Amino acid sequence: MTRLLLAVWCAAWQLTGFAQGYPTRPVELVAPTGAGGGSDLVARTVAEIVAKEKLLPQKIYVQNRAGGGGAIGLTYVAGKRGDPYVFTQSAITVVSVPIRTGLDVGLDKFTPLGAIGLDLNSLAVAEGSPYRTLKDFLDAARARPKTISVGITFPGGSAHGLMHKLQKAAGVQFNLVSFKSGTESVTAVMGGHIQATAENLGEVMGQVEAKKLRLLGVPSVKRLAGLPNVPTLKEQGFDIHAGGLRGFVAPAGIPADAAKVLETMLARVYKSSAWRDYMARNMYEEVYMNADELGKWLASQQVEMTQFLTEMGLALKK
């Protein structure tokens, strides 16, 4: 009995010590896209806010692990089971990657931590494009099926979801071109290699403000205060709401105390003035989810994502 009590006491002491001391070394935040992509920008902004406001006793450093439509980054994090010193900025890809690739990186391989905003997608063309309106763009797509090229970051992502919904609703077919990051997609539009990009507003706004890109519409619930002259897709006849949820997950099996520390850190990031400014600059919709809410949201997306990828011919056939 004495040995049993001693073992219980030691276990409790170790858990308490973990909670008080974690993290004792830098924490890796994986960006599953290339430099300049939406996930990369979010990860680096979060790391900067954590450092500036001393939200953790150790720094967060960002590591890009791009490729495979998010599969490389997710596989890396999933392989770190029980390790609280790595997490990733990812949400819907946690659902889409296993459906699309068959990789064993499903929800059971991750610990949800929380979500801190919805990065709305967009539909943008070069400033000199002949397509002045969404109607012009869709008319051209109807006249020349599969010849109008639109950039997306990866299959199964929010940009892909936006274009899939628009194709179905408008009865058109685009040539969807995948890029490693939103930056590459935007650059391709400006270089005349593709006709449009469906990437997140945060990735196109710099070029919109520089008058190198022009927005044909945004899939927001209502017109955005920062873009009063840009109509929503709903106004133009397409009730589509699309964006990338900026969620975070860690490997499965990490200590509960460590997960709580990271969840609390993200909540404090969301409430910070620096993050509020970032959301405003990048036209985010203000969405917050705690760990439990994010976990339930991810689980709810399974059926819809399976249907979506199946319709696109991208679900791995078993």
Is 178 within the bounds of a domain?
A: yes
Overall pTM surpassing 0.75 (yes/no): yes
pLDDT of residue 318: 61
**pLDDT over 50 (residue 187):** yes
Domain-terminating residue out of 167, 200, 217: 217
Residues 152 and 101 in one domain: no
Q: Which of 28, 44, 27 is nearest to 36 (CA)?
A: 44
CA distance 95 to 296: 12
CA distance 199 to 108: 29
CA distance 267 to 116: 8
Is 138 within the bounds of a domain?
A: yes
SS3 (DSSP) at 239: coil
Average pLDDT over residues 77-94: 95
CATH number at 251 reads 3.40.190.150
Report the alpha-carbon angle 242-42-260, nearest 5. 100
pLDDT tens-digit profile of 113-172? 999 999 999 999 999 999 999 999 999 999 999 999 999 987 788 899 999 999 999 999
Residues 152 and 286 in one domain: no
Is 223 within the bounds of a domain?
A: no
Is 316 within the bounds of a domain?
A: no
Residues 115 and 256 in one domain: yes
> How many domains, in total, are found in the chain?
2
Q: Which residue has the tokens 């405003």?
A: 280
Q: Which residue has the tokens 């020349």?
A: 144
Average pLDDT over residues 280-300: 95
Residues 250 and 302 in one domain: yes
**pLDDT over 50 (residue 8):** no
Lowest mean pLDDT among 4-13, 201-210, 278-287, 297-306: 4-13
CA distance 152 to 141: 17
Is the Cα dihedral 107, 111, 117, 121 positive or negative? Answer: negative
pLDDT of residue 183: 86
Residues 105 and 178 in one domain: no
pLDDT tens-digit profile of 197-256? 999 998 899 999 999 999 999 999 999 989 999 999 999 999 999 999 999 999 999 999
Residues 58 and 134 in one domain: no
CATH number at 163 reads 3.40.190.10
Is 141 within the bounds of a domain?
A: yes
Residues 303 and 155 in one domain: no
Is 292 within the bounds of a domain?
A: yes
pLDDT tens-digit profile of 22-33? 999 999 999 998
The proportion of the chain whose per-residue pLDDT surpasses 70, expressed as a percent, equals 93
SS3 (DSSP) at 307: helix
Residues 140 and 183 in one domain: yes
CA distance 236 to 220: 12
**pLDDT over 80 (residue 9):** no
**pLDDT over 50 (residue 11):** no
Residues 205 and 292 in one domain: no
pLDDT of residue 12: 38
Residues 134 and 76 in one domain: no
pLDDT of residue 4: 39
DSSP element (H, E) containing 86: strand 86-89
Joined tokens for residue 266:
């993200």
Q: Which domain holds residue 261?
A: 25-119+243-311
DSSP 218: B
Joined tokens for residue 188:
């391709």
Residues 207 and 137 in one domain: yes
pLDDT of residue 14: 38
Please indicate whether residue 113 or residue 40 has the higher confidence score (pLDDT).
113
Residues 30 and 112 in one domain: yes
pLDDT averaged over every residue in the chain: 90
CA distance 74 to 193: 30
CA distance 37 to 186: 10
Contact 243, 165 (CB under 8 A): no
CA distance 162 to 242: 6
Contact 219, 232 (CB under 8 A): yes
Is 225 within the bounds of a domain?
A: no
Is 3 within the bounds of a domain?
A: no
Tell me the pLDDT band of 18, cut-offs 50, 70 and 90.
very low
Domain-terminating residue out of 182, 202, 217: 217
The proportion of the chain whose per-residue pLDDT surpasses 90, expressed as a percent, equals 73
Q: Which of 293, 302, 298, 296 is nearest to 114 (CA)?
A: 293
